[in-house]
Amino acid sequence: MHVTPDHPRYVSLSLRERLIQAHERGIVSIAGLIAHGRGEAFDYLLGEYTHGFAIDAIEAMAANIVLARHPVFVVNGNVAGLVAEDVVALSREAPLHLEVNLFTPSAGRTRTIVELIEGLGGVAHTPEEDTATLPGVSSSRSSISVFGLGSADFVVAPLQDGDMVHALKKAGMKTATIDLNPLSRSAHDADITVVDNITRAVPLIRDAVRFLKKRSRKELEVISRFDKEGALHEAHRSMTERYR
Ligand code: PTJ
């Protein structure tokens, strides 16, 4: 597909194309293409820009990343297909551990995503290196790496179907997600929810980490607190007001 930047839906169509190509390269699952459609619909309802409630969440997430002993960012097919480069840049800035964890895994897809990350200068954990089990996840995502999620105290798990964030919380970890759907289970279960497109959010998280690294622990502790219920309420209000 060829779209020029003057097309009114250029950004949205380019992202679609990026995901289709990532599917053809064995990174994104078929279910991932459907999941992207759901995200697109919520992005449309939100006006396709980063709201103030998302900026607040991004700052809180960044402060938690800087404060954490062992922060981990979960990479699935859609995350890799959309923002691999930005996620690797963030992981190097923080530093932050990356773990590839797939809903519909195959050895081939996990390897392809790890190679993509390595090709961009990053490092990724996979359950194969030394497997632990995350209780309460019914899918094969319950297999995690001892050195990644198995050691985490703060986890960013974006674009998830719900049980992952729930299980991580039950295991005692502080959690954050990025999800355009403010009604989703993950959005409600996570301690910090960034309601924004991951393609806009991750570069902003990196900027925030770079800035906050210079702050004192005391300041970071204040910034790391987040009113999630208030942010979700604002996201609902923004969607409904736009279409009233
Ligand atoms: O690669 P795999 O096998 O691990 O599979 C990944 C998917 C995404 C298929 C899997 O986790 C899944 O089924 O997810 P869900 O249940 O469709 O949930 C994904 C959530 O992410 C939904 O609430 C979407 O609205 C949201 N979403 C989709 N695209 C974006 C998004 N949120 C932020 N930015 C996006 N670009």
> Mean pLDDT per segment of 10 residues, for the chain of length 244 residues?
79 93 97 97 96 98 98 98 98 97 90 98 94 89 95 97 92 97 97 98 98 98 97 96 82
Question: Which one-letter DSSP state was computed for residue 184?
Answer: S
Ligand 1 atom 24: the closest Cα is on which residue? 39
- SS3 label, residue 45: helix
Q: How far is the CA of 35 from the centre of ligand 1 (A)?
A: 5
Question: Which pLDDT score, from 0 to 100, does residue 9 have?
Answer: 85
Nearest to 128 by CA among 153, 154, 155, 108: 108
CA 215 – ligand 1 centroid, Å: 33
C-alpha–C-alpha distance, residues 244 and 241, integer Å: 5
* Number of CB atoms found within 10 A of residue 195's CB: 28
Ligand 1 midpoint to CA 31 (Å):
9
Ligand 1 nearest atom to the CA of residue 184, by list position: 23
Amino acid identity, residue 169?
A: K
**pLDDT at 104 (0 to 100):** 87
Helices (H) and strands (E) in the chain, counts: 10, 8
Among protein residues, the one whose CA lies closest to atom 19 of ligand 1: 159
CA atoms of 81 and 50, how far apart (whole Å): 21
Output the pLDDT for position 190: 98
β strands within the chain, DSSP E: 71-75, 97-100, 124-125, 131-133, 143-145, 154-156, 174-178, 192-194
Closest residue CA from atom 18 of ligand 1: 161
CA dihedral for 239, 204, 122, 212, sign (positive or negative): negative
Closest CA to 62 of 94, 17, 30, 103: 94
Say how many Å lie between the CA of residue 37 and the centre of ligand 1. Answer: 9
Please report the pLDDT score of residue 72 as a whole number.
98
pLDDT the model gives residue 105: 81
In this structure, the residue with its CA closest to atom 6 of ligand 1 is 32
Three-class secondary structure of residue 192 per DSSP: strand
Burial of 107 (0-12, 13-18, 19+ CB in 10 A): exposed
Provide the Cα torsion 84, 227, 210, 178; round to 10°: 0
Backbone φ/ψ region at 48: left (φ over 0), alpha (ψ -120 to 50), beta: left
**Residue from 78, 101, 156 to probe ligand 1 pocket by mutation (most atoms less than 8 Å from CB):** 78
Specify the ligand 1 atom closest to the Cα of 180: 32
- The residue whose C-alpha atom lies closest to atom 23 belonging to ligand 1 is 181
Which residues have any ligand 1 atom within 6 Å of their CB?
A: 29, 31-32, 35-36, 38-39, 42, 76-78, 82, 102-104, 159-161, 178-181, 184, 197-199
Q: Which atom of ligand 1 is nearest to the CA of 34?
A: 17
Q: How far is the CA of 14 from the centre of ligand 1 (A)?
A: 18
Q: What's residue 7's pLDDT?
A: 81
Q: How far apart are CA 89 and CA 87, in angstroms?
A: 5
Atom of ligand 1 nearest to the CA of 164: 11
3-state percent breakdown (helix, strand, coil) of the chain, nearest 5: 55, 10, 30
